[in-house]
Structure 1
């Protein structure tokens, strides 16, 4: 049983101040209760906080995202499904069957423009979450809390720190995906205005200040409810941003990545002995490794996005859906030969489905081309499952310890201080789990940056890291690394560097004179 229930999204009336006045952005949550009625008790604040967490999982107020928060766009698929598509579909980890029908051809082939539906959907989902967090924080000021007891104020101030983390996470995605973006906080009036443009560098600094500022307010590791953030989540997000700082700001911050990774490593977490248990329906029990999950539950988070997508989507061909805890496969995505090639046969993580599947993909729309690969299942530890038309109870590990181990090792290799011996030890802990023994252990000489990129692919595939990783290593665009269908060519081709960033949507460029389009669009 999950500890924090996240239902559909209609909790309160929120003036959704996004980033312009176009009709595309006039998208409000369902009005059920006024803010004056909600923000009168600790329970009211807690209910709204659940809404903020839920904005990463569900996209509507009814079953299967019915009565959507943002109607009429692919944003109705929800934050996590859209985020997965932007982070994974353009890479070597995914080939998508229904690209034409789901408007993902441009995403798959890295040919998108500023009117792309998925590019726009992610942008608006990010700012929807930011707006919800801002509204919460406007109602958590000292003035608003003056009528509460000291104990109640402490509770709500803790909730506010969580809201600031969730906003920092959403803004981190905006920084990573779009670069220079509109900037709105709780200090801006709830009124129609043109939000200013913040540079990627300044947004990086803002997120850093927010996360450092809330770290000591958030509960220590394992002291918050499951599904809610602790200070280790703030440290891990800082480490991730520091690892990518050279991309975001032009200035490396590898020392800081090492330091904050070390804080997480020393805070009591440990690798789960069974890799596959991290991605099943009982993964809410893996609090030893999963630092921050996006929760799912068959009864309460009824969405066709999130992990419902990640469980059903990759079940293709002769794979039996019931073996993965659902009723039928969606035949949506497989993986590519270049990604398959980074796995050795003894690596338990590379559980490829080859029966009836070709390795090469000559026709991306053929679900029998490309090996099948299931990472997420809806199975409980004992092999039983509960589903409702394919809905699942598998949480998504947005932040987990193995990623932090690999961030530490990479930062050390990039000159960030720390211990090379410890970096090797951490990587070998991951490898020993993957190989069920020491067969996968590597030597200090083998621990190179090229190895780290491949190991991140093996360990973290389909966890929404691949695009960011390839960009950091200079292999997403250009011709340094080619994979099938990169750039729309069967054998891959060089892609313009402009695709390291997604464009600001045309609708927002038209509406807000403060914005400047990313170079090349």
Structure 2
């Protein structure tokens, strides 16, 4: 854990090396670096802001500062972004995305051949613990404070800590557990024990978080805690061996019944004015955004990564940034979720695709592309996804020609509808009217054909249609036993074979990084690594 930079800083009584001064609480994330040689006092608002800033920034300089300026050592700062790392580990090994880059650990994720020294697997592990340590420090320094602002901030810090632990339990399983700032080597906890901690934290934090849609945009409220609880309960059988479908449905329903509402236009959720404009109402659906601003919040992760990596500058319609990295495109299995009969337009843009699919979510681009990924290193081998852009729905100009304004919808209301539907079908042993209504609510928003009932297999496909490329697919496949250790579902290049092959079951968990195992005798490696 000493490689977690913030731990060393705290131990040296200089936490504010990382707690960069920010001009407003969360709103624009302008960074004002603090000199560690003179700053040793605790500034509550600055540290609180840093807790949120770590979701959308990578260091105190950014977007790829000088060596040592990033939050996490041992990884390129541009690759160390919170969401970029989560996205890579959840999407690249699954049936939605395929990246044509041949370096940086990408091929190992695409083919399911990573090991305990993999740079991105290690990078996310330390990114999550960096954020947890920062939350621990804030909670220690504010313990006993009873003023209204401190009570609210402490509840949100507990939520963010629980969010980071959620990704640890989901991706790594049995992990080190720390709730205080210490140089002592932490002990490892069983997955079921960590589940109970996350559950308790979210239940207690939700009591003093602000009511839905009454907090500052960009900060979490009760509904975000309820939705994370619903997600936790939906995966309870994976994490603990005991399903909790009723609780998943209960907290999904609480979220649905809150003050949030679905954005009327699906594609507006992923545009540069999704924080709200005269045209774009996406902020009524987004429970927890990762704030992005091309003028003041700059890194090579976040929405820039999603937009630039899925686009190429010389053969695609305008997408709002000069950056077109030509990396991530669709595996044919994702396209087939919208075109099961193989009738996708061979030279279609997004309008042609959504019209042919009768579904607003079929945001593909096939001009100059092949459906099959025959050449892994070529971006045109595979359809492009044009779901994300830095264009505004109201037509106004964005803040920067390169860096993006599009906020990342890390948590949005649509998840509650699908969580409710899946939990209802599972606990009732088959389709129900309530589950069907929940799914049809989303399909009606997308102008897709509705059905009279949905099986679990239908629901897994619906997760892909609604949340394609949003950084969760691996987790959904594992819950349905469709990821590793099974032979009844495959996809192109699964396991490194063009037609796909079985992945070893141990790959349902990522390894504890070798670096941490080597320095902490309390840790046991996950099986298979």
Q: How far 1:317 moved relative to its partner?
A: 7.0
Structure 1 residues 27-426: aligned runs within 5 Å:
29=18, 32=35, 38-39=41-42, 44-66=43-65, 67-74=69-76, 76-77=78-79, 78-98=81-101, 100-142=102-144, 145=145, 153-186=147-180, 190-285=181-276, 286-316=282-312, 318-320=314-316, 323-344=318-339, 345-386=357-398, 388=400, 390-415=402-427, 420-426=432-438
1:497 to 498, 505, 508: 505
2:461 is the alignment partner of 1:442: no
SS of residue paired to 1:158 = helix
Partner Cα distance (1:35, 1:175) in 2? 38
Contact 1:257 1:408 in 2 (8 A): yes
SS of 1:173's equivalent?
Answer: helix
Q: 1:124 to 1:65 in 2, by over 3 A?
A: same
Structure 1 residue 339, shift from structure 2 partner: 1.1
**CA drift at 1:213:** 0.6
Aligned to 1:4: none
CA contact (8 A) 1:253 1:416 kept: no
Assess if the C-alpha contact under 8 Å between 2:425 and 2:431 holds in 1.
no
Stretch moving more, 262-271 or 405-414: 262-271
How many Å apart are 1:65 and its aligned residue? Answer: 3.7
1:316 is displaced (CA, Å) by 3.0
Structure 2 unaligned residues grouped into runs of 5+: 19-32, 277-281, 340-356
Higher mean Cα deviation, 44-53 or 297-306?
44-53
User: How many Å separate the matches in 1 of 2:169 and 2:212?
Assistant: 27
* Equivalent residue, structure 2, for 1:16: 6
TM superposition shift of 1:389:
5.2
Per-residue CA deviations over 1:313-338 (Å, capped at 9, x if unaligned) read 100375436x2111241101100111
CA offset at residue 71 of structure 1? 3.6
Offset at 1:421?
2.0
Q: Secondary structure at the match of 1:17?
A: helix
Q: Tell whether the 8 Å contact from 2:252 to 2:416 is kept in structure 1 after alignment.
A: yes
Instruction: For residues 288-331 of structure 1, give each alpha carbon's deviation from its aligned partner in whole angstroms, at most 9, with x where no partner exists.
Output: 2111111111122111111110111100375436x211124110
* Residue 506 (structure 1) aligned with residue 487 (structure 2): no
Is the Cα contact below 8 Å between 1:359 and 1:369 reproduced in 2?
yes
CA distance in 1, matches of 2:338, 2:38: 52
Deviations 1:235-267 (A, max 9, x none): 100000000000000000001001111111111
Residue 28 to residue 361, structure 1, CA distance change in 2 (3 Å): farther
1:501–1:518 contact (8 Å) kept in structure 2: yes
CA distance in structure 1 between the partners assigned to 2:50 and 2:285 by the alignment: 25
Task: Check conservation: 2:63, 2:77, Cα contact below 8 A.
Answer: no
Q: 1:519 aligns with which of 521, 524, 527?
A: 527
Distance 1:419 1:320, change over 3 A: closer
Greater shift after overlay, 474-483 or 398-407?
474-483
Cα distance in structure 1, aligned partners of 2:432 and 2:37: 55
